[in-house]
């Protein structure tokens, strides 16, 4: 296993890295989940992008958005694992929390989680903080992590 963590601001991404991150996001959110939505929302440019590669292949990713962009509080979003059951999702979320604290001084982090994934996010310290709601045709809940 050749697991490598990558962490970059938008302006630091190479064209190839950006292309691969967007390709994986489209593969999972648009194709796999059969959900048409506006992925390019203007938040990428101010976010910290994290991804894990194994042998050069992206196996997990997320972005950490500053407060006042995607959500009122610092948030983590676009969370993906391409290989489930290997702990990559937990690792990328723990790194996302760390980046939120270090880069944005977060004491609170909000996410919009697909409702079925509540248990996963609870494992890394998030708690449900809203009633279920529909987002892009998929049931979601807001979840919050506090320091």
Task: Annotate 3-71 with DSSP letters as a single string.
Answer: EEEEEEEGGG--HHHHHHHHHHHIIIIIIITT-------S-GGGSEEEEEEETTEEEEEEEEEPTTSSS
Phi first, then psi: what are they for 138, rounded to 5°? -125, 135
Q: Return mean pLDDT, the chain.
A: 93
Domain that holds residue 112: 3-146
Q: How confident is the model at residue 40 (pLDDT cuts 50, 70, 90)?
A: confident
Q: Are 35 and 29 in contact (CB under 8 A)?
A: yes
The total of structural domains in the chain comes to 1
Say if residue 38's pLDDT is above 80: no
pLDDT at site 82: 93
- Alpha-carbon distance of 91 to 80, in angstroms, equals 11
Q: What is the mean pLDDT of residues 73-96?
A: 95
Q: Are 30 and 39 in contact (CB under 8 A)?
A: yes
pLDDT at site 28: 82
What CATH number should be reported for the domain holding residue 142? 3.40.630.30
Cα–Cα separations (whole angstroms), residue 133 to 1, 20, 46, 121, 137: 39, 30, 26, 17, 9
**DSSP assignment letter at 125:** T
Pairing between β-strand 74-81 and β-strand 57-65 as defined by DSSP bridges: antiparallel
pLDDT at site 1: 66
Cα–Cα separations (whole angstroms), residue 134 to 17, 47, 113, 138: 31, 24, 11, 5
Burial class for 147, CB neighbours closer than 10 Å (0-12, 13-18, 19+): exposed
Q: Which of 29, 145, 17 is nearest to 93 (CA)?
A: 145
């Amino acid at each position: 296993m050749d697991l490598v963590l990558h962490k970059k601001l938008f302006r630091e991404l190479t064209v190839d890295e950006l292309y691969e991150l967007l390709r994986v996001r489209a593969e999972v959110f648009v194709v796999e989940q059969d959900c048409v939505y506006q992925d390019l929302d203007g938040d990428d440019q101010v976010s910290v992008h994290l991804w894990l590669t194994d042998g050069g292949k992206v196996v997990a990713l997320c972005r950490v958005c500053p407060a006042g962009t995607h959500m009122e509080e610092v948030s983590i979003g676009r969370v993906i694992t391409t290989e489930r059951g290997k702990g990559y999702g937990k690792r990328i979320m723990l790194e996302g929390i760390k980046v939120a604290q270090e880069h944005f001084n977060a004491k609170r982090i909000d996410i919009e989680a697909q409702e079925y994934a509540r248990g996963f996010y609870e494992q890394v310290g998030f708690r449900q903080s809203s009633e279920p709601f529909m987002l892009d045709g998929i049931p979601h809940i807001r979840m919050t992590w506090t320091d």
